[in-house]
Amino acid sequence: MIELEGLTKRYGEKVAVDSLTFTVRPGIVTGFLGPNGAGKSTTMRMILGLDHPTSGDVRVDGTHYDRLKDPLTNIGALLEAKGVHPGRSAYNHLLWLAQSNGIPERRVREVLDTVGLTTVARKKAKGFSLGMGQRLGIAAALLGDPRILMFDEPVNGLDPEGIHWIRTLMKSLAAQGRTVFVSSHLMSEMALTADHLVVIGQGRLLADTSMAEFIERNSRSYVRVRSPQRELLLDLLHGAGITAVDGVDGTLEVDGSSAETVGDLAARSGVVLHELSPQQASLEEAFMQLTAESVEYHAHTGAPVPPQQWGDTWTKG
Ligand SMILES: Nc1ncnc2c1ncn2[C@@H]1O[C@H](COP(=O)(O)OP(=O)(O)OP(=O)(O)O)[C@@H](O)[C@H]1O
């Protein structure tokens, strides 16, 4: 479990992390989302004791990180896929980490196998691709068999097979009862991986909710209808008190009504339909729109969007 309480980090005038209070629980994958510069990496660095909070507190399984004995056996983290001496092989990098944390050498071979780097284990890290570097970072996080795992943008640089692999890995680690905390700015990726979401914007907490609740609140569902008798259909819908708006290519988008209701209504009046399909707007669209709005606002006025405003839009959908 990771517990944050009023966690705050200022860099001069800049408030990078602003009074964050939330708990990351075991047994599930918790996604940590927010646009670029929202404060995700700074928060993760404070969890690992790499940055000191200006105020507030953060605990890893009830203890401050710097009081953990052999920290790799409590919490494993992938922060950025650098931190590896370029002249050192993957094997030696992991061996060095293992020895400094009291971890047996056989574990090095196990994690290399888990991440699929066994065949290149003796190659120097400087020849590694971005994806291989990510896998090595993940191997290091797994080395101490920790109960808590934290990944900062783990799919960066991975190909589709690699993305699928890390998604499956995170879910299986959570299914083993571990705490899995993973940051991303990609809503679509999180929708496939996370059970719970913590969303921040400009350092502040905007949402701390289950994925199911988040989807229900933020994805718009509607029925797309296409008819050669569009005006007649519109009159029918309005007459029945059903709202429809213009969609793409002459279609209508009907909110708050089922496909069955619209189909029955049209059939009773002999209106021909060429399409009748339930639609669900993706969470990625909602996330991109909110992010884009905030970026655009910055560009036009130079004034930051108050995080609460973003949060209100976000949570009310
Ligand atoms: N060492 C530092 N000195 C000054 N400002 C910093 C420092 N580290 C981070 N910041 C600022 O704090 C804010 C939060 O940055 P952070 O890297 O935590 O965001 P992020 O959500 O991880 O972004 P990204 O998705 O782009 O990685 C940004 O405005 C960043 O410029």
Looking at the domain assignment, is residue 106 inside a domain? yes
Cβ 34 under 6 angstroms from ligand 1? yes
> Per-residue pLDDT tens for 173-213?
999 999 999 998 888 788 889 999 998 888 989 889 898 88
Q: Are residues 209 and 232 in the same domain?
A: no
159 vs 233, residue with greater confidence: 233
User: What domain count does the chain have?
Assistant: 2
Please give the pLDDT value at position 304: 41
Q: Are residues 120 and 179 in the same domain?
A: yes
Q: How far is the CA of 128 from the centre of ligand 1 (A)?
A: 27
What is the percentage of the chain residues whose pLDDT exceeds 90? Answer: 57
**Residue matched to tokens 């029925």:** 223
- Given 195, 216, 237, which residue is the final one in a domain? 216
Backbone angles phi, psi at 33, to 5 degrees: -120, 150
Q: Are residues 157 and 226 in the same domain?
A: no
Q: How far is the CA of 156 from the centre of ligand 1 (A)?
A: 17
**Residue matched to tokens 């969470």:** 283
Give the atom of ligand 1 at the shortest distance from the alpha carbon of 45: 18
Looking at the domain assignment, is residue 287 inside a domain? no
Q: How far is the CA of 198 from the centre of ligand 1 (A)?
A: 17
Q: Are residues 153 and 264 in the same domain?
A: no
Looking at the domain assignment, is residue 302 inside a domain? no
**Which domain CATH number covers 47?**
3.40.50.300
The span from the CA of 221 to the CA of 191, in Å, is: 16
Start-end of H helices in the chain: 40-47, 90-100, 106-114, 130-142, 160-175, 187-193, 211-218, 230-239, 259-268, 283-301, 307-316
Q: Which of 37-46, 77-86, 272-281 has the lowest mean pLDDT?
A: 77-86
Cβ 41 under 6 angstroms from ligand 1? yes
- Positive or negative, the CA dihedral 162, 167, 173, 176 is negative
How far separated are the first and last CA of the chain, in Å rounded?
30
> Per-residue pLDDT tens for 111-168?
999 999 999 888 887 888 888 888 999 999 999 999 999 999 998 878 888 889 899 9
Cβ 36 under 6 angstroms from ligand 1? yes
From atom 1 of ligand 1, which residue's Cα is the shortest distance away?
Answer: 11
Classify residue 136 as exposed, middle or buried by CB count within 10 Å of its CB (0-12, 13-18, 19+): buried
pLDDT confidence bin for 82, thresholds 50/70/90 = low
Give the atom of ligand 1 at the shortest distance from the alpha carbon of 38: 21
Q: Are residues 163 and 23 in the same domain?
A: yes
Please give the pLDDT value at position 83: 65
Q: Which of 4-18, 57-71, 74-88, 268-282 has the lowest mean pLDDT?
A: 74-88
Range of 253's domain?
221-280
Q: Are residues 134 and 164 in the same domain?
A: yes
Q: Are residues 276 and 179 in the same domain?
A: no
The span from the CA of 86 to the CA of 195, in Å, is: 36
Looking at the domain assignment, is residue 241 inside a domain? yes
From atom 29 of ligand 1, which residue's Cα is the shortest distance away?
Answer: 37
